[in-house]
Structure 1
Amino acid sequence: MRLGVPHRGRRRTLPLTLLVSVTLLAGCSPRPPSDGDPKSPSPHPTSPIELCVSLIGHWAREELAGRAGGDFMQKGLSGGQNEILTAVVAAARDERERSGAAGAERVVTAETNRRCAERHGSGGPTGHPWQ
């Protein structure tokens, strides 16, 4: 008496296993990038100014909405970026009292762009990385 799969069943299992394996491998293999592929994103390195504007703008809006918590390091900001954030939020709060939310948003946008450009206009701040 023989235990296990009959010889005939093993022959059928092998081609099926090979077919499944080849199909899975073909589906997982990377496709070489094509120059005209509209779905692939174009690489665009983020400049220090763009990064600063994005971070400060986000956290300023969160602060004004009362949703920001944590210190500057938890927000991913340097000490210098935190100084910009503090100044921008203070100016936006003053403007919000005078002209409402739209005025505060204009101040956030203008002050963030100006201060980040001043900070990173020469290629980046100097000194310690957290300054």
Structure 2
Amino acid sequence: MTTAGQRGFRPAGRCAGRRALALCAALLGGALTGCGGGGTAAPDPGATPAAHRSTPAEICAALVSYWAKEALKGSEWAGLDWEQKGLSNEQYAIHEEVVAAARAEQAKHGGAAAGALIDRRTAEKCAAANGATGSSENWREPDWTATGTPPP
């Protein structure tokens, strides 16, 4: 209850203040008990998604299809060269082949069909070439593959 000229809130009686204090103590005590080293529950394996390790073919397909779709819609970034796009020489060859096929498909059947063709063809070609990374002059195998230890 507040009175004229008084700032803030004042409990209606002594009892209300004691109840608030008891509630704070109970909450604080409960929180501190949960922090102890006592019985800890095992983590729920379904609550944390498993790490997804992408294969070279999946990475290739995602990268090449992205840039092929950008080229098809004529985006400002489609004019970057293969290195700026992060493509290997072999991935760039797949890109050029897929973009040519997609342009023909777009003229006949529209943009949705061209996008589907890009996804399908890049997945096929990247899988057949195992990621198409070996032909790039500046490509190196990641350090973790040489040791057999996956990255953190």
Q: 1:46 and 1:98 mapped to 2: Cα distance? A: 34
TM-score (norm. length: structure 1)? 0.64
Unaligned regions of 5+ residues in structure 2, if any? 1-41, 140-152
Q: CA deviation at 1:72?
A: 0.6
Matching residue's letter, 2:108: R
Q: CA deviation at 1:124?
A: 6.6
Distance 1:74 1:128, change over 3 A: closer
Q: Which runs of 4+ in 1 moved over 2 A?
A: 37-41, 123-130
Q: 1:74 and 1:126 mapped to 2: Cα distance? A: 16
Deviations 1:62-121 (A, max 9, x none): 111111131010000000000000000000001111111122112111211111111107
Matching residue's letter, 1:89: V
More helix by share: 1
Q: CA deviation at 1:42?
A: 1.7
> Rg larger in 1 or in 2?
2
Q: 2:101 and 2:74 mapped to 1: Cα distance? A: 16
Q: Which residue of 2 aligns with 1:50?
A: 58
Number of aligned residue pairs: 99
Q: 2:84 and 2:136 mapped to 1: Cα distance? A: 21
Are the counterparts in 2 of residues 57 and 109 from structure 1 also a CA contact under 8 Å?
A: yes
Are the counterparts in 2 of residues 60 and 88 from structure 1 also a CA contact under 8 Å?
A: yes
Are the counterparts in 1 of residues 89 and 136 from structure 2 also a CA contact under 8 Å?
A: no
RMSD: 2.8
Unaligned regions of 5+ residues in structure 1, if any? 1-33
Distance 1:100 1:113, change over 3 A: same
Q: 1:1-131 alignment to 2 at 5 Å?
A: 35-36=43-44, 40-67=48-75, 68-120=78-130, 125=134, 128=137, 130=139
Q: CA deviation at 1:44?
A: 1.6
Are the counterparts in 2 of residues 119 and 125 from structure 1 also a CA contact under 8 Å?
A: no
Distance 1:97 1:81, change over 3 A: same
Distance 1:57 1:93, change over 3 A: same
Are the counterparts in 2 of residues 49 and 116 from structure 1 also a CA contact under 8 Å?
A: yes
Distance 1:128 1:69, change over 3 A: closer
